[in-house]
């Protein structure tokens, strides 16, 4: 019964993530336990990263919040780590309105709609990994 209760966190993440992504067969979860608590590592298809992270990290933050509730019910600290797959493209727009791949990841550029000529310029942020961006959310 104890092992069954502990696996609820993985079952929850698997259900939610597979419901969101376009490639549910590519969802991989790994659960490890250490002195810090439970760590669930999530890997998805590179095309699905945007759906998992959500706008400004909202989807990932929501999943993590719900995982904390599940962990609290089982007196455990549960964290979610999302691995950035090789070849993933973050929607960082280059000068030509083209999505720029994450540093060091080989992939083809994807054309996106260029901003309107009269649109206000957006301040550029320095590039950071998905993990760094999610850590900045203070979840």
pTM of the model as a whole: 0.58
Separation between Cα atoms, residue 130 and residue 90, nearest integer Å: 9
* Model confidence at 128: pLDDT above 50: yes
Q: How far apart are CA 102 and CA 5, in angstroms?
A: 38
Classify residue 26 by its DSSP letter: G
Spelled out in words, what is the top-level CATH class assigned to the domain 2-87+127-135?
alpha beta
pLDDT at 113 over 70: no
Q: With helix as H, strand as E and coil as C, how does 46-64 read?
A: HHHHHHHHCHHHHHHHHHH
pLDDT tens digits along 9-53 = 899 999 999 999 999 999 999 999 988 889 999 999 999 999 999
């Amino acid at each position: 019964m104890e092992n069954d209760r502990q696996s609820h966190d993985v079952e929850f993440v698997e259900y939610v993530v597979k419901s969101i992504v376009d490639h549910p067969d590519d969802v991989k979860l790994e659960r490890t336990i250490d002195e810090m608590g439970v760590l669930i590592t999530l890997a998805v298809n590179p095309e699905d990263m945007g759906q998992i992270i959500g706008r400004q990290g909202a989807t990932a933050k929501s999943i993590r919040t719900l995982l904390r509730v599940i962990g609290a019910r089982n007196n455990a600290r549960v964290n979610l780590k999302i691995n950035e797959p090789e070849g993933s493209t973050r929607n960082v727009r280059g000068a030509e309105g083209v999505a720029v791949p994450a540093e060091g990841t080989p992939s083809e550029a994807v054309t996106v709609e260029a901003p309107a000529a009269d649109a206000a310029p957006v301040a550029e942020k320095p590039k950071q990994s998905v993990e760094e961006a999610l850590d900045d959310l203070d979840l």
